[in-house]
Amino acid sequence: MFEMLEWVIVVEFDPLVRALLVEWLEEIRPDVLSFDGRQTLPAVGASLVVVDLGNDRRQGADNIRRLRTIYPGVPLLGLSTHAREGIAAGGEAARRLGVDMLLPKPCERELLLQAARALMAAT
């Protein structure tokens, strides 16, 4: 089933948000796998991981460490309700959280797609 080498992985706790993210990301890459943040993730080739950082800072940090182990070298795009519009998506806040880019949640479709394209192009 997981024979493709360049999946986009979505790790999101809310099932409605997860479905929306998948729908949006499939516009630029049809190979999208999605998971609840508590599920076991497959060790497959990936070009991008989009991750919900959650409301609990420790839980978010644990997720980032787990994702970095499963998908080494793959760009992480973090989504957080604590992020605010106007912050630099790839700036200091993103680095402190351990992601390559950080977007506010909820975010606009075009902003998500633009960030996803940029991160996938950089690899």
Q: What is the pLDDT of residue 90?
A: 59
pLDDT interval class at 1 (50, 70, 90): very low
For 110, the token pair is: 């075009």
For 76, the token pair is: 């992480």
Q: What is the pLDDT of residue 16?
A: 95
For 43, the token pair is: 């060790």
CB contact at 8 A, 26 and 32: yes
Q: Which residue would you say has higher pLDDT here, 62 or 50?
A: 50
Q: What is the mean pLDDT of residues 31-51?
A: 89
d(CA 102, CA 92): 10
Q: Taking phi first (over 0 means left), then psi (-120 to 50 degrees means alpha), and beta for anything else, what does residue 51 get?
A: beta
| pTM of the predicted structure, to 2 decimals | 0.85
For 92-113, how does the pLDDT look when each residue is reduced to its tens digit (9 = 90+)?
Answer: 667 777 889 989 888 899 999 9
Q: What is the pLDDT of residue 55?
A: 64
**DSSP-derived 3-state class of residue 112:** helix
Q: What is the dihedral of CA 55, 57, 63, 67, to 10 degrees?
A: 110
Please provide residue 51's backbone torsions phi and psi, each rounded to the nearest 5 degrees.
-130, 135
pLDDT interval class at 56 (50, 70, 90): low
